[in-house]
Each structure stands twice: as structure tokens, then as C-alpha cells.
Amino acid sequence: MDELGALFHGFAVVLSPLNLGLMIVGIVLGVLIGVLPGLGGANGVAILLPLTFSMSPTSAIIMLSCIYWGALFGGAITSILFNIPGEPWSVATTFDGYPMAQNGQAGKALAAAFTSSFVGAFIAVVMITFLAPLVAKFALKFGPPEFFAVYLLTFCSFVGMGKGSPFKILASMAIGFALAAVGMDTVTGQLRLTFGIPDLMRGFDFLIAVIGLFGIGEILLSMEEGLKFSGKTAKLNPRVVLETWKELPRYWVTSLRSAAVGIWMGVTPGGATPASFMSYGLAKKMSRDGAKFGTGQVEGVVAPETAAHAAGTSALLPMLALGIPGSPTAAVLLGGLLIWGLQPGPLLFVEQKDFVWGLIASMYLGNIAGLLIVLTTVPLFAAILRVPFSIIAPVIIVICAIGAYTVHTAMLDVWLMLGFGVIGYVFKKLDYPLAPLVLALVLGDKAEDSFRQAMLVSQGDLAIMWSNLLVGSITGLALLLLLWPLLSRAWAGVRRPKRIELNREQPVD
Amino acid sequence: MPVIALTQEMGSLAKNVALRLGELAGLQVMRHEVAENVAGRMHVETSLIHRLRGGKASLRERFSTDRQQVAVFTAEEVFALARGGNIVLRGWGATLLLRPVPHVVCVRITRPFEQRVDWLMENLETTDREAAQAEVRRSDDAHANRMRAQFGVTWGDPLLYDLVINTERVSVDSAASQILALAAAPEFRETDASHACLEGLALSARVRAALKADEVTSGTNIGIEAAGGKVVLTGLVLNEQERDAAARVAGAVAGASSVENRLRIMAVSRKFTHSKT
């Protein structure tokens, strides 16, 4: 029970007035990011990262992670009130949330969505509290070959578990690796792919890429759609909330199942969006009221929201314990760690106890604070969305530009951001996934470093990747996942093809 | 043309009551038609359906059989028989399926456990009391589980029926005459409205069975409301193909004059540059 002692120490760290204040500011900003089109968890956190440069690492991570929780909460508001998902993982919430709002149950739907988000996050945080130290302790035994194997597993699981064409995922990842290679080679000190341009010596900062790809790209997509928010108004009074809370324990099976799906999809790089779709599909299939799903069932709001939040929260487990981000937002937080002068990885649990346990404690408190804040401020955020998109969009682009500029105070970064925005738009139009690109950009040089260290140890012998049971099984699993699309296709050829459980058009990354 | 729905409880003498009702009021008595028709539609042996109902199917059979399919086809058969009128229906969830129809009398016939065991021992000509007890328990469990899974009710709850008769002391004749007296009461009179209600339920059951039988729509789980030949489809399907197929299949069902397609599609309504958190 060392974890509990450490956790209470973490609570002591978080409960200082400054940190509590930052937590509330973070949640409010996060919800705003969640409801605004064009700003999501990853680029929202990236834009606000410079705000934290002058803070202590613990205060900074508390604020940033609270922005993230807020963004996770916020997506549901637009889904339920306007039938326009604010974030991709709240798409499944529109299926039953909006019909509920149409039936005059908007308050109930919102209360159910927020509460089950909280439940999903809470279950995932409990899992992180007890699992992360164990994984970190285990990972302390890792050497370069093990780390490279884990990186390889992360990359390959994108191919194996991603939806859509595996070749598109590989192509996107390869572009990410190429971008990661630009700049100075850390082992030999040679310049690579700079073409004599001095500004490229710095390499491509992934924060710029995240802001551009996810922020500008999405604004372009939304402009094309001609987004218009018109829908139901929300009134959330305490009576409705209490009545909903009385009803929710009835769906405990759905909650637990969705949380399990979410945690699994979060820890493996499946992501929150597939998790929310999958748990919605499972709930529809297993519920007795499955036929009524889509006409305004509380259970249809509970399932995707629980799963999305559980996935979003548990995506931080590999980042914390191994220093390997499973999602773009985790990558941004990891980038933050480096900027604040911390070395991400399993040693964090040994050397930076305040930081790690402060973060974990803030996951508990941040979600409680988030639940209270969203329950009380929904009408405010709904009102913001009634501002026309033609006013919101330029403001967001300016915010993105400021965010990109402050990373290195270089004007080139703003142009790069715009360039990445165009790439993001084109990628999405062609149905290429962006997350593999971002993660390859973040992890590319780390993976290269550990690979080259491993090669130095083994004097160039690849067999080191199979030299012991641990590294061998991770490498084997990685290769299995890499070949999974081929294997599953071969398997489908032998057996009768299975019915497609989810829509083919779901997001590819 | 009364329609009487009875429960089926092993050893409860419900069968004797049903036969007596048939004799007294000149009603048809349902025998094995449902099992035969359902098995025919699913292309399986009739005995498999009986084994599933009695809780005697093997583990493999239980997993490999689509219970929803059995339930949907059963409901279609029960409604088809009830539409014909002048019939005593026993078991197959008839009391619950026909409960919303005002002119159908829903009766539960029950008897203490030990007497049911005695009945079974006599019937099987055995002296092994424990085996008979186990048999009755297994049958009860199978029924209770199916009722919970299919209708979400507790099997045997008196609120589910219009009349509960315990044949411990009530004779088969008295039971039959009680039921007939109730069937003749004004609240069970057949009206146009009650017939329309039955027609609507029967049509929606036919549509559901047709959707289940069609290859494209067999996996869908949607709401079907039917009244006066007008079918309304609500709920969620995976894609446009399923939505259109559902409307087409529903429109082709006998008795469906028009189909209102309110199905929504489980699709991503906006493009996002990111789908990960």
C-alpha cells in the first residue's frame, strides 16, 4: 500500500491554494477548448504550454492535465445541445444525447454524460494509481534494446489496431520519421536533411506540428462544412442532476464494461474515439433496450462518455510509466516534461515523487472539480457557441499563431504551422491518419537513439532484439501487430467474413 | 372468438386445462406448431427448439443458436395464431406477448412443487424422486431465465396475469369454467380497437421476423411500431445500406401498406483531424 501513502502526499501537494486555483483555471479553459471547433485536447494543451514555462513543473502539469480533463468533458456539450460533436470522441454521444435534448431532456442527458465521464475517468485513475508504479518498477530493468522494442510495439500497434488502410498509416508514419530526422544527429553531430538552411538545424518541433495539423487543419475542415450552431438550450438545475444520479446506478454493468473497453483502448494506442464507438455498439447489442438506442436512451449517453473518458485518462499510463506517449495529447505533456527539465521515463517515479504523485492526485481532484464546474457552467459555454463561426474561426487561428510563435519566438514557426495546417487538411480529405505522423515525429529520434545504443552494445547484431525473453516477446508482439492486417485478411479468406460491427467511415487514426 | 393465453409450467396441469377449455368452448388448442414452424424457419431440428426451451441443450448448442432469432420467430408465430382467434395458446411467452391486447385473457396455472414432481414421476413411470425433482427445477430455471432475458420480467409474478389458478385444490373443470367466465366478462369483449391492437403487434412481429431473416438486416436491432398497416422504424443502424434494406424488407411484409423510415445512421457526422485524445 505504498501507493496510498504516496497518493496522499500527492493530495497534499495539489491542495495548495495556488494549485487549486490553477486547476480551476485549467478546467474552464479546457471546457472552452472542448466546445470550440478547431481546438482539441492536443493542440489546446500545446497552445497553452508556453503559459506554464515560468511555473514549477508540478503546478504546470496540474494545470495542463486539467485543461485536458476539461477538453474531455467539453465535447459532450455541443453533441447533446447542437447535434455537432465538439470532439471526435463525443460523436457517439450525439446518437442518443441529441434525441434526449429534442425530447426536452437536455439537462438529464448532460448530467448523465458528465457524471459517466467522471466515473470512467475515476476508474481509469484508480487503475493508473496502482498499475503505473508497478509498470515503472518493471521498466527500470529496461535497457536500450527493451526500450526500442517498446517503441517498435507502439508504432506497430498503430498499424495493427488502426482502422482504415494500413498502408496509409505506414505512409503517414514514414513522413513523421522523415520530419523527425531533420536537424542535428544526436550521436554523430552531423546535419541531416537541412539542405543548407540554417533554420532547419533546429528540426521540426512537434508542438508546431500539433498546433498546425490539429488546429488549422480542423478550422479548414469546419469552414468547408459551414458549421452553424443552432439547437436546444440547456437548463441544469440541481433537481434534474439528482434525479439523473438516482437513475444512473441502474446502468452499472454498462458503465463497468465501457470503462474496461476505454482503459484497454487507452493503454494500447486505440484511442478514445474507437473506444466510444465500440462501447456504444456493445451497449446497444447487450442492452435489453437495444432497439430503442438512437431515440434518446440514457444508457446510450453513458456508454460512449464513460469509455471516452476512461480511454483519455488511461492514455497517460504509458506516458507516465515508460515515457512513451500513446496519444498526441500525451505527447504534448511529454514535451512539456522536457521543457520543464524533467527526464520522462520510469525514473520519474523514483526521482520526482512530488511531480508524479501530484499529477495522479490532480487526476482525482481535477475530475471532481471538472464535474462540478461543467454542471454549473453549461449555459455559459452553450451561449459562447451561439457566436457565429465566422468570428470564432479567425480568433482561433490567431490563438494558434500566438501559440506557435511562443514556442521558440520564431516567425518561421508560424509559417510552418500554417503549412502543417494545409497538410492536416489534405491528409484528412484523403483519409490519411495524422496521429501516426505526430507520434513518429515525437518518438522518432528517441526510438533512433535507443536503437543505435542497442546496436552499439551488440556491435551491429540485430539478434539483440531476441536476446532475452522480455525483449524477444515485445519484439515478437510488435511484429505480429505489424503483420496483423495481412494475417487478418488471410484469416478472413479462410473463414466466412465477419459482419462489420461499426461504420466503415469512422476516423482512421 | 376468444383468445386465451396460458402459462406452461411442468406438471401444473395447464395442458389438461387447455384441452378442457378446447372441449367446453370449442376452441382450437395449440400443440407443437410453433416449435415446428420456428425450427423450419431456422433450418434446425424441432427437437433442438424443445431442448433449448427445456434447458436441456448442450453448451455448444446454446452458444451456436441465435436466441434472438428463436425469440423473434416465436413471437411471429404466436401473433399469427392469436390473430386467427378461437384458440388456447399455452407457453412460448404468449401471456407476455399478448398482454397488451385487451381481449386476450392471460392466465397463469401453477401448482405446489411436490405435486408437480409427483405428476412427473407418474408421467415418466419412475420411482426416482430426486431425478424428477431435478428435472422440474431445470425446466423452471430454463423458463425463468428465458423470461428474464427476453422480457425482463420475473417468471411467475402474479402482476403479469389476469388470473392465477393454483390447481392444488382447484380441479381442471373448475379452472376451465373460471377462465371461460372471465373471457365472457365485458372487459375482455372484443372490440375494433382491441383487434387493431393485435393486428399492429402481429404486423410489427412479422416485420421483425422478416428483418431477422434477411441477410443484410439480420444484425440490426431497431424499434418497430405498427398501427393500421403503417410501419414506423426507429433507432440506429450502421450504414445507409442497412437503413435502406430495413425499409425495403419492412415494406415487403404482408399487411404493411406504408413504411415510415426514421432510422438514423451510426456515422461520424463531422470530419476531424484527430480522433485520439
B6 forms beta bridges with B90, B107
Among B223, B236, B274, the residue with its CB nearest the CB of A95 is B236
Residues of B in contact with A507 (CB under 8 A): 268, 272, 275
Predicted confidence at residue A506, as pLDDT, reads 47
Predicted confidence (pLDDT) at residue A509 exceeds the cutoff of 70: no
| Residue A176 in contact with partner chain B when CB distance is under 8 A | no
Most confident of A222-226, A299-303, A331-335: A299-303
- Indicate if the pLDDT at residue A507 is higher than 80: no
Q: How confident is the model at residue A415 (pLDDT cuts 50, 70, 90)?
A: very high
Q: What is the mean pLDDT of chain A?
A: 88
Burial (CB < 10 A; 0-12, 13-18, 19+), residue B16, is middle
Is residue B110 within a helix (H) or strand (E), and if so which, with residue range? strand B104-110
So what's the pLDDT on residue A496? Answer: 60
DSSP A504: T
Q: Residue A206's pLDDT is what? A: 87
Q: Give the 3-state secondary structure of residue B90.
A: strand
Least confident of A359-363, B69-73, B247-251: B69-73
Q: What is the largest distance, in Å, between two alpha-carbon atoms of chain B?
A: 74
Say yes or no: A427 contacts chain B, CB-CB below 8 A.
yes
Compute the nearest-CA separation of A189 from chain B (Å).
Answer: 34
Measured in angstroms, the CA of A31 and the nearest CA of chain B are apart by 14
- Report the gap between the CA of B185 and the closest CA in chain A (Å): 35
Does the distance separating the beta carbons of B221 and A291 come in below 8 Å? yes
Select the highest-mean-pLDDT range: A301-315, A481-495, B101-115: A301-315
Answer yes or no: is pLDDT of A455 > 60. Answer: yes
Percent of chain A residues past pLDDT 90, beyond the cut: 39
Residue B155 CA to residue B148 CA, distance in Å, equals 7
- Please list, in sequence order, all residues whose beta carbon lies within 8 angstroms of the beta carbon of residue A61, skipping any fewer than 6 positions away: A333, A336, A337, A340, A355, A358, A359, A362
Round to whole Å and give the CA distance between A233 and A358.
38
Question: Are the beta carbons of B266 and A427 separated by less than 8 Å?
Answer: no
Rounded Cα–Cα distance for residues A503 and B268 (Å)? 8
Give bridge partners of residue B90 from the DSSP assignment: B6
Chain A contact set for B277 (CB, 8 A): 41-42, 68, 72, 89, 266, 271-272, 308, 311-312, 315, 327-330
When mean pLDDT is compared across A115-124, A225-234, A343-352, the lowest value belongs to A225-234
User: What was the pLDDT predicted at A501?
Assistant: 52
Interval A385-414 mean pLDDT? 90
- pLDDT of res. A498: 55
pLDDT tens per residue across span A207-252: 999 999 988 998 898 888 877 777 777 778 889 899 999 999 999 9
* CA proximity to B105, closest of B44, B17, B232: B17
Contact A214 B277 (CB under 8 A): no
Question: How many angstroms separate the CA atoms of A335 and A328, rounded?
Answer: 10
Distance spanning both ends of chain A, measured CA to CA: 38
pLDDT for res A17: 92
pLDDT beyond 60 at A480: yes
Question: For residue range B165-174, what is the model confidence (pLDDT) as tens digits?
Answer: 998 888 888 8
Residue A246 touches chain B, beta carbons under 8 Å: no
Which amino acid appears at position A125 of this protein?
V
| Residue A500 pLDDT | 54
- Is residue A505 very low, low, confident or very high in pLDDT (cuts 50, 70, 90)? very low
Which residue in A284, A327, A507 is closest to B272 by CB distance? A507
Q: Which is more confident, B57 or A347?
A: A347
- Cell, residue B14: 395447464
Q: Is A285 on the interface with B (CB under 8 A)?
A: yes
Residue B277 clears pLDDT 70, i.e. is over it? no
B242-256 burial, b at 16+ Cβ within 10 Å, e below that, comes to bbebbbebbeebeeb
Asked if the Cβ–Cβ distance from B274 to A315 is below 8 Å, we say no
Q: Chain B contact for A272, CB < 8 A? A: yes
Which of B264, B265, B270, B276 to probe by mutation at the A interface, max A CB count within 10 Å? B276
DSSP letters spanning A218-287: HHHHHHHHT-----------HHHHHHHHHHGGGGHHHHHHHHHHHHHHHHTTT-HHHHHHHHHHHHHHHS
Confidence of residue B276 (pLDDT cuts 50, 70, 90): low
pLDDT at position A112: 95
| pLDDT, position A504 | 45
* Mean pLDDT for the stretch of residues B80-89: 83
The whole-number pLDDT of residue A85 equals 87
Task: Give the number of C-alpha atoms closer than 13 A to the C-alpha of residue A53, restricted to the C-beta side.
Answer: 10
CA of B153 vs chain A CAs: smallest distance (Å): 11
Look at residues A214, A222, A299 and name the one whose alpha carbon lies nearest to residue A256: A299
pLDDT for the residue numbered B1: 67
Hey, are the CB atoms on B275 and A273 less than 8 Å from each other?
yes
Nearest-CA distance from B205 to chain A in Å?
Answer: 13
Contacts of B63 (CB under 8 A, 6+ apart): none
Q: Is A505 on the interface with B (CB under 8 A)?
A: yes
Residues A27-86 pLDDT 10s: 999 999 888 887 888 888 999 888 888 889 899 999 999 999 998 898 899 899 988 888
Residue A136 has pLDDT above 50, yes or no: yes
Which is more confidently placed, B76 or B269?
A: B76
pLDDT for res A96? 93
Instruction: Please judge whether A507 and B269 are an interchain contact, meaning their C-beta atoms are less than 8 angstroms apart.
Output: no
CB–CB contact B273 A218 (8 Å): yes
The residue among A299, A322, A179 whose CA lies nearest residue A250 is A299
| Partner-chain contact B276 A328, CB within 8 Å | yes
Question: Is the CB of A89 less than 8 angstroms away from the CB of B266?
Answer: no
What's B29's DSSP letter? E
Report CB contact under 8 Å: B271, A428: yes
Q: Where are the alpha helices (DSSP H) in chain B?
A: 14-25, 33-42, 46-54, 59-64, 67-84, 94-97, 113-124, 129-151, 172-183, 192-213, 240-251
pLDDT classification of B77: cutoffs 50, 70, 90: confident
How do beta strands B28-29 and B3-6 pair? unpaired
> Residue A503 above 70 pLDDT?
no
Count CA atoms closer than 13 A to B237's CA, side-chain side.
24
pLDDT category at A499 given cuts 50, 70, 90 is low
pLDDT at A100: 93
- Do B277 and A94 make contact, defined as CB atoms within 8 angstroms? no
Across A405-418, average pLDDT: 91
Mean pLDDT for the stretch of residues A134-141: 89
CA B228 to chain A, closest CA, distance in angstroms equals 21
In 3D space, the residue among B79, B73, B86 whose CA is nearest the CA of residue B198 turns out to be B79
